[in-house]
Amino acid sequence: MTLTCSALQWPLWNWTSKLATDPGLKLAEAFTAFSAEVNATPANALVPLQVIKDHSAATGPTTYGYVWRLGHPQTPVLLSFSNSSKVQGYNSSSSSARLQLGLESAYTNDSSNGGYGSFSATLFSVNAGLSHYASDGTPAWDLAGFLLIQADTTPGREFFCYTIAPIGTDINTQNHTLLLFRSPAVSGWSVVLNRSNSYTGMFYSQNSYTWSNNALVAASIIPLPPTGSDQQLIRGCGLYANTSSGVFAPGTIQPRIALPDCFWLGSNQLSDPRRLGRVSNPGGAGTFYQLAAAYSGATDLWYLNPPGTQPRAGWDTVGSLPWSTIPDRLSFCPLLTPGPVAMGPATGPDFLIDWSTAALGAAGVRQHPFYAKQLQGGGGTGGGSGRPSTGVLWPRGTP
């Protein structure tokens, strides 16, 4: 049980292929192996992973995808990707590719959607999740591509991350990075999807979900990563559950679920548009590899690879991909070690974040451990001792 980082590349990227040596089934192979190790850990007995469908489930020559089950004691969900054409798609809606996340109870396992089944309702559904990189696609591009997978099966810090991106010169293709991870603070698997278009400014999205009250809900990244021209990467970001109303009940402490510590978020304007940037770790051992980037206004996703990290058997090392070493103009900023005022609730609430969204009206402010202090007057509690003893315009009476 250890961290692995594995890479494969192809001179011609063909997602429709059902050969065991091609991208689709190599991804299924890696996820199946990861699932087997994770499921063997007793602590994961109630959150097992399972491949429901892979490329071999496709019913048509241009259909491909997968369906993965993310286990949970009460509300398991399914992560589904499917595509029914070879149209590459250069924005959020111009291809038939769809990534969907939905409750298992809302899924029908049948031959619809090219063999990948259907949801009656979804938690999220996004188009253009992938492109078809091949000379017979639309438009026609003869491109190389790569599949990069990081996985850690160590109990208590399990995660699986894959990145799919082109190596060639097509400015219209999509890449995406998908991260599944476990945290002791939540009851199921959390999901981060980062997508970006290789052409500056055309397309970018980031979708994050974590568990709240036994349901997978949309989440924000906290704190906000640097964007634009900040030239900065930070570690220690976490997911923060959103609510439909935007507020939480008074006294509620919403946990921020820390991402695995080898993933960094930020901005690098010198990034290679193919997301193949690399830079040595200025703060110690290891190398940073760029998984996703989309220029101004978007967030880069980087992975810090510890020295000596090995690939899966039969796969290549991360260094085998054609990375470009970028100019060392980045600032690398690890956040403070989580503590009583850095991350809650396991180590206590963050007074400025975890409670501020719960401060509903005067009652919420009075119960806030930080803001309530601003209301305290001389010798009183929860709003002071009343009116001042001098300088008033009306009789005080008896305090």
- pLDDT averages per 10-residue partition of the chain, 399 residues: 90 83 93 96 95 91 89 92 73 68 94 91 76 68 84 94 77 75 86 67 64 73 66 72 56 68 76 65 85 63 91 94 72 55 40 44 57 58 54 57
Residue in this structure with the two tokens 């924005």, named with its chain if needed: 91
Residues 272 and 342 in one domain: yes
Does 313 lie in the same domain as 363? no
Same domain, 379 and 324: no
Are residue 376 and residue 239 in the same domain, yes or no?
no
pLDDT of residue 371: 59
My answer on whether 278 and 377 are in the same domain is no
Note whether residue 29 is domain-resident: yes
How far is 65 from 183, CA to CA, in rounded Å? 27
Q: Domain residues for 382? A: 355-386
291 and 371 both lie in a single domain: no
CB contact at 8 A, 15 and 24: yes
The reply to whether 108 falls in a domain is yes
- The answer to whether 78 touches 118, Cβ cutoff 8 Å, is no
Q: Are residues 202 and 115 in the same domain?
A: yes
Angle CA(353)–CA(296)–CA(298) in degrees, nearest 5? 45
Residue 324 lies in a domain: yes
In a domain, 56, yes or no: yes
Q: Does residue 345 contact residue 354 with C-beta atoms inside 8 Å?
A: yes
| 188 in a structural domain | yes
pLDDT, residue 389, reads 61
Query: 181 with 304, same domain?
Result: yes
Give domain status of residue 152, yes or no. yes
- Same-domain status, 241 and 365: no
Q: Position of tokens 């160590």?
A: 154
326 and 377 fall within a common domain: no
Q: Give CA–CA dist 165/65, Å, rounded.
A: 16
Local structure of 56: helix, strand or coil: helix
> Angle at CA 97, nearest 5°, toward 67 and 116?
30
How many structural domains is the chain composed of? 2
| Cα distance between residue 207 and residue 194, in whole Å | 7
Structural domain includes residue 396: no
* Structural domain includes residue 283: yes
* 318-350 residues labelled b (16+ CB within 10 A) or e (exposed): beebebeebeeebebeeeeebeebbbbeeebbb
Judgement on whether residues 7 and 46 belong to the same structural domain of the protein: yes
Measured over the CA atoms of residue 4, residue 163, residue 135 and residue 82, the dihedral's sign is positive
Tell me which residue of 7, 145, 147 sits closest to 66, measured CA to CA: 147
Is residue 117 located within the same domain as residue 229? yes
